[in-house]
Structure 1
């Protein structure tokens, strides 16, 4: 049920019971415990009660736990063609996860847009310029209550990807530009041909040792 909520969408107890393959009464009992433990938020709307993850911190913990479960061979997975798509690009609560997210994270560090030194991920001045060219308002994000940049351990790659308000804003910008589409029922993020090309040019596969800056060109 918690994994189903990683899409960032609020769901009812009935919908979550269907996701887990259990009776509604059983789901309600579990949801009460999860809500009481601070993992979920509950909101009533009309006759329905909706549940969502309590915070991005909860989503980050879940992503890490899924990595541990996969290593132990206990991760519940749906077989079929969606598996590859989920590993390629998916929603992690409100930011990009999967192979493409790790590629983006590595590239941002290699281009000196993110600085992981000092024990806390920081956006550099070149990174601010990069974000502005992409159309992300960093000043607005920095004024918010959410942490600007944060590492999230990717369960399928076992490496970091970008979370925080910047990670959320970048995924939203990809969607706004028409480069990507979100499917919240499966959590799959599908990039268009143009989007894949733009993504590849901005975030080339490289290592931190290959620290070089490349001009950003945003096509509509």
Structure 2
């Protein structure tokens, strides 16, 4: 006996092979490691990624080809170098959301070396999550925006009118358009709380890096707040320097 809407069922059946194939695309540790590395928002050469994930360049080339064909990565060539990056913000959001679901709690992390411990501590303090701020830094900024009535979090993330004026007064341009929301909640995998993403999150992160409020450190996504950044965030958002260190 057939139950339900057969037209809808058949449509779902037609989508099933594509969904299964997409899941298999991500369900490979090497490809997953590449996607996580590219969450820093920058373009990597194939050689850099091969060293990062610990496989031979020829092996990685096959994996990258699958990710490009699947629409998760985009590539360009400059001379003999092949550069890849996440295809767009939607691809980054997918990787972020999946990573947040499987990331271990901070208490479960057990660094094997002092260097690894230092790198993980730096990532937890502040990092980029594709193109917006994350970690303790991202949460501190998000909380400060909400506390000052610039960001609403009661029914999802949304900038208030005061928030829009604040971005304009600081000189942070919010370029709208496309399907990306102006403000979006992104689950922080170290803090287990939501930080600001979307157009506003990306613009704020870009401004922080361009003005020297934050600088990248190491080869990962970690960033740290500079003395100039501490002063600016204290003045503009009332964030104490101790919360940024």
TM-score range, shorter chain: 0.7 to 0.9
- Shift of the alpha carbon at 1:7? 1.4
Distance 2:197 2:111 in 1: 24
Q: How does 1:52-201 map to 2 (within 5 A)?
A: 52-71=85-104, 79-118=116-155, 120-138=156-174, 141-143=175-177, 146-183=180-217, 185-201=219-235
- Shift of the alpha carbon at 1:57? 2.2
- Shift of the alpha carbon at 1:76? 9.7
Gaps of 5+ in 1: 206-220
Residue 142 of structure 1: SS of its match in structure 2? coil
Q: CA offsets, 1:179-219, max 9 Å, x none? A: 211247221111112312432454457xxxxxxxxxxxxxx
Distance 2:56 2:111 in 1: 18
Gaps of 5+ in 2: 1-33, 240-245
- Shift of the alpha carbon at 1:145? 5.9
Q: CA offsets, 1:64-92, max 9 Å, x none? A: 33333322869999713121111111111
* 1:29 pairs with one of 62, 66, 70: 62
- Shift of the alpha carbon at 1:151? 1.4
Greater helix proportion? 2
- The question of 1:48 aligning with 2:84 is answered no
8 Å CA contact retained: 1:103, 1:204: no
8 Å CA contact retained: 1:7, 1:184: no
* TM-score after normalising by structure 1: 0.80
- Shift of the alpha carbon at 1:131? 0.9
Distance 1:71 1:82, change over 3 A: closer
Please give the root-mean-square deviation of Cα atoms over the aligned residues, in Å. 2.7
* Bigger Rg over Cα: 2
Structure with bigger RCO (C-alpha 8 Å, 6+ apart): 1
8 Å CA contact retained: 2:111, 2:117: no
Distance 2:73 2:211 in 1: 32
8 Å CA contact retained: 1:60, 1:153: no
